[in-house]
């Protein structure tokens, strides 16, 4: 007896697409950083920008549909991040 197919929701599809785009941007960023030839690096950076644009559009669509609801950061969170960057900068 065949099992009933389970439908994948739009939210699950978009979340999977967003995760895939994040992974792609990580890989293209790594590839662009390892290029030794300027034309190839330029191409990789162009592709990286396109991947970031796709990721931003996916996130925007998820927000529009109410699938993600980004909360503004509190001042304590902002201060903690700022301090982390200041500490990293002083290491140089």
Instruction: Give 29-73 pLDDT, tens digit per residue.
Output: 999 999 999 999 999 999 999 999 999 999 999 999 999 988 888
Cα distance between residue 62 and residue 72, in whole Å: 17
Q: How many CB atoms lie within 10 A of CB 59?
A: 17
Q: End-to-end CA distance of the chain: give it in Å, rounded.
A: 66
In the predicted model, what is the mean pLDDT of the chain? Answer: 90
Does the predicted TM-score (pTM) go above 0.85?
no
């Amino acid at each position: 007896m065949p099992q009933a197919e389970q439908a994948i929701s739009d939210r699950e599809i978009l979340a999977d697409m967003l995760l895939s785009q994040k992974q792609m941007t990580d890989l293209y960023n790594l590839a662009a950083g390892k290029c030794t030839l300027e034309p190839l690096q330029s191409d990789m950076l162009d592709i990286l920008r396109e991947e970031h644009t796709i990721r931003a559009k996916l996130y925007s669509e998820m927000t529009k549909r109410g699938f993600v609801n980004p909360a503004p950061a509190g001042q304590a969170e902002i201060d903690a991040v700022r301090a982390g960057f200041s500490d990293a900068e002083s290491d140089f």
